Structure 1
Amino acid sequence: MKLVKKFVEVIAKFDEDGITPLSIQWPDGRIFEIDSILDVRPAASIAVGGLGVRYKCKIAGKERLLFYEEPRWFVEAKSPG
């Protein structure tokens, strides 16, 4: 299974504590609410490349990685091919 860098829209809260992503919108319009943030740290995506802030999130009961590579957000997604 090959992974690719998939840029996504993110609704986020910006406040004195920093940036908190609230939901992810997939390019086909589906919206996934982020249930909780488990970890936040500067990190690289080993699978697809890129460097930024890595958010380990809980979405629909599963752990997922979301990256903020300023000024865009991306996830590691399965390649369609």
Structure 2
Amino acid sequence: MEAKGRRPENPCKRYVKVRADFELDGSIRPLLFREEDGPAFRIDRVLDVRQAASLKAGGQGIRYVCEVEGGIAVLFHDEPYWFIEREESVSKA
């Protein structure tokens, strides 16, 4: 059993902080994300939302395929954590 407040260790997952809108229907729309001490990346557009497993990093949750600064980022909400997969490099400029 995990200690409360500690996320599971997984070197394949890049845990991120997320700012999101919570809609009246219960859905969540992420607006931006950032690693703990990194720059924030604004999500330009959410292209797809569905329940899915992360084949690259393991885990399962709601998968958000997002357009971010000209690239594609795959963001997972695996209660209570958020983590990122990247299909294309997202610049940190």
**TM-score, normalised on structure 1?**
0.86
User: Aligned partners of 1:68 and 1:76: how far apart in 2?
Assistant: 11
Whose Rg is larger? 2
Rounded Cα–Cα distance in structure 2 between residues aligned with 1:29 and 1:5: 15
Larger % of strand: which? 1
What RMSD, in angstroms, separates the aligned Cα atoms of the two structures?
A: 1.4
Give the unaligned 5+ runs of structure 2: 1-10, 87-93
Which structure has the higher relative contact order (CA within 8 Å, separation 6+)? 1
Report the alpha carbon displacement of residue 72 of structure 1 after superposing the two structures with TM: 0.9
> Who is 2:24 aligned against?
16
2 CA distance for matches of 1:26 and 1:6?
7
Identity, in percent, stands at: 47
Q: Tell me, what secondary structure is at the counterpart of 2:16?
A: strand
How far has the Cα of 1:15 moved from its partner? 1.3
Which sits farther off after the overlay, 36-45 or 12-21? Answer: 12-21
Does 1:58 pair with 2:67?
yes
List runs of 5+ in structure 1 lacking aligned partners: none
Partner of 1:76: 85
Indicate the residue corresponding to 2:38 in structure 1: 29
Which residue, 22, 46, 53 being the options, matches 1:44?
53
Deviation >4 Å, runs of 4+: none
